[in-house]
């Protein structure tokens, strides 16, 4: 029944295959010769199968865990260097017709204020985000065909791209909205979106249907097959994610890797990103009522093993997690983080963080300037780059460059150029001083002499007021 090339959800995410994989992992979790063999394969940076990675996840040997962490760090640096891409979520509407039991936007929640941004309000939110220094957004909206039709989403994207404020501009809009039709995915592609992101929430079909008792999201197959429709509609960068804490983490981990394998098998392109959110407290949601919460230690291990198993993917962690947890996992594979996030509708335009319409509690509440400074102090380059999207390096073109390591020739200098823009336009004096020193040092690490010379020239032009250079 299991077939990674099938377009049927229950065949490429096969329950029996996951159960067999978990049994195999339990039987081999102490099989050190096999585990060493799997780790040796991982060092080739070609990835691991869901079954191989599941064996490593089941293994509890402390020495093996140390090796996993070290290898994840090495692989992350091989593909993405010390760059961390910055983004922010933008909540457009919390109207929703679904009955998801883990989300405060569910239809049965009658005391949460419902709000939908007008285009004028969208513009105010964008200006507030631009004034922080953001260049990349991920827009979010509940599923409601009346209040949030695809036409509304498209209008919002058009508004976002149209706002030029001082030196600010949102250069790439990623989209995290409900599963939709091939026709609607074509419209999103034509609107110039970056990555289409859709969290599976859980790959366990029985649990999925219980967690989504009402609304269109109840349809497990339609939701799980959404990425195939998106790719059919021309969107070649898609982002996967599960909500860890809803179901057994080992089941979810295996299903997530099987989904990545399916995309590779059918489309020749795996997920552009994999997100790793954990269930958090929200308006009427108590995460302790769910039985599958995971510790920080288990969460770190999952992040490391996703990096090892899917070495080319961008890994995303949000402000759901604390500064302490984020500090750990950016050394284990995470390559994208949000900064200064507000998960309420219209939250950025407000001076004080509103909490009455938040989708989840924000653990890391530092400003973008503080996050940027922290990253640089820990030897990471905050990157505001969107060049690959804008130069057409998406889908198989991005993946071929990434897997070969050639993407470094673009990404490293572009990260430094966009960091320079942030330092000139938005940074505090302390952050700017640290950043200038980092840029000077990192420019010298560009191996190609011609590229290094051009990058230095672009950085100098940014210092003199010019903007938007890219390789």
Per-residue 3-state assignment (H helix, E strand, C coil) for 249-303: HHHHHHHHHHHHHHHHHHHCCCCCEEECCECCCECCECHHHCCCCCCHHHHHHHH
- So what's the pLDDT on residue 85? 97
- So what's the pLDDT on residue 396? 77
- So what's the pLDDT on residue 336? 97
- So what's the pLDDT on residue 37? 98
Tens of pLDDT along the chain (471 residues)?
Answer: 999 999 999 999 999 999 999 999 999 999 999 999 999 999 999 999 999 999 999 999 999 999 999 999 999 999 999 999 999 999 999 999 999 999 888 898 888 899 999 999 999 999 999 999 999 999 999 999 999 999 999 999 999 999 999 999 999 999 999 999 999 999 999 999 999 999 999 999 999 999 999 999 999 999 999 999 999 999 999 999 999 988 899 999 999 999 999 999 999 999 999 999 988 766 666 667 777 789 999 999 999 999 999 999 999 998 889 899 999 999 999 999 999 999 899 999 987 766 666 666 677 889 999 999 999 999 999 999 998 888 888 877 787 877 777 777 789 999 999 999 999 999 999 999 999 999 999 999 998 899 999 999 999 999 999 999 999
Chain centre distance of CA 428: 27
pTM for the full model? 0.94
- So what's the pLDDT on residue 264? 97
Cα–Cα distance for residue pair 386/411, rounded to 1 Å: 9
Dihedrals phi, psi of 285, to nearest 5 degrees: -115, 125
Token pair recorded at residue 235: 């969107």
- So what's the pLDDT on residue 354? 63
361 C-beta neighbours (distance < 10 Å), count: 16
- So what's the pLDDT on residue 350? 86
Q: Domain 77-365: which CATH class?
A: alpha beta
**How many residues in total does the chain contain?**
471
Closest listed residue to residue 227, CA positions, set 199, 204, 206: 199
Decide if 173 contacts 215 (C-beta within 8 A).
no
- So what's the pLDDT on residue 284? 64
- Domain map of the chain by residue range? 77-365, 389-463
Cα–Cα distance for residue pair 363/359, rounded to 1 Å: 13
């Amino acid at each position: 029944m299991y077939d990674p090339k099938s377009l049927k959800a229950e065949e490429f995410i096969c329950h029996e295959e996951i159960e067999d994989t978990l049994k195999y992992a339990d039987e081999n979790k102490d099989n050190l010769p096999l585990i060493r063999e799997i780790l040796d394969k991982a060092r080739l940076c070609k990835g691991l199968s869901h079954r191989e990675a599941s064996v490593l996840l089941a293994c509890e040997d402390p020495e093996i865990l140390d090796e996993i962490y070290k290898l994840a760090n090495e692989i992350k640096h091989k593909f993405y260097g010390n760059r961390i891409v910055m983004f922010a979520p933008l909540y457009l509407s919390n109207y929703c017709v679904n009955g998801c039991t883990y989300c405060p936007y569910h239809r049965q929640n009658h005391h949460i204020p419902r709000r939908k941004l007008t285009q004028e309000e969208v513009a105010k939110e964008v200006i507030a985000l631009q004034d922080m220094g953001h260049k990349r957004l991920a827009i979010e909206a509940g599923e409601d065909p009346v209040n949030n039709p695809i036409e509304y989403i498209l209008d919002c994207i058009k508004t976002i791209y149209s706002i030029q404020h001082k030196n600010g501009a949102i250069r790439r809009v990623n989209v995290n909205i409900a599963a939709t039709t091939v026709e609607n995915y074509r419209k999103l592609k034509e609107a110039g979106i970056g990555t289409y992101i859709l969290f599976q929430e859980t790959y366990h079909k029985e649990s999925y249907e219980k967690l989504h008792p009402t609304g269109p999201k109840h349809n497990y197959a339609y939701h799980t097959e959404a990425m195939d429709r998106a790719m059919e509609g021309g969107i070649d960068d898609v982002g996967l994610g599960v909500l860890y804490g809803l179901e057994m983490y080992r089941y979810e981990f295996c299903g997530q890797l099987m989904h990545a394998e399916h995309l590779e098998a059918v489309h020749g392109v795996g997920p552009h990103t994999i997100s790793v959110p954990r269930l958090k407290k929200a308006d009427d949601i108590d995460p302790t009522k769910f039985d599958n919460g995971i510790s920080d230690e288990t969460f770190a291990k999952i992040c490391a093993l996703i990096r090892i198993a899917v070495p080319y993917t961008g890994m995303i962690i949000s402000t759901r997690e604390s500064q302490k947890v984020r500090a750990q996992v950016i050394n284990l594979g995470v390559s994208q983080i949000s900064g200064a996030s507000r998960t309420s509708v219209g939250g950025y335009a407000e001076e004080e963080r509103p909490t009455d319409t938040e989708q989840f509690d924000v653990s890391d509440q530092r400003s973008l300037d503080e996050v940027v400074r922290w990253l640089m102090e820990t030897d990471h380059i905050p990157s505001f780059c969107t060049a690959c999207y804008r130069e057409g390096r998406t889908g198989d073109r991005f993946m071929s460059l990434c897997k070969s390591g050639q993407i470094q020739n673009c990404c490293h200098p572009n990260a430094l150029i966009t960091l320079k823009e942030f330092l000139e336009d938005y940074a505090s004096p302390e952050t700017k001083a640290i950043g200038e020193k980092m840029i000077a040092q990192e420019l010298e690490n560009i191996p190609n002499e011609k590229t290094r010379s051009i990058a230095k020239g672009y950085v100098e032009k940014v210092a003199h007021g010019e903007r938007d250079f890219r390789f």
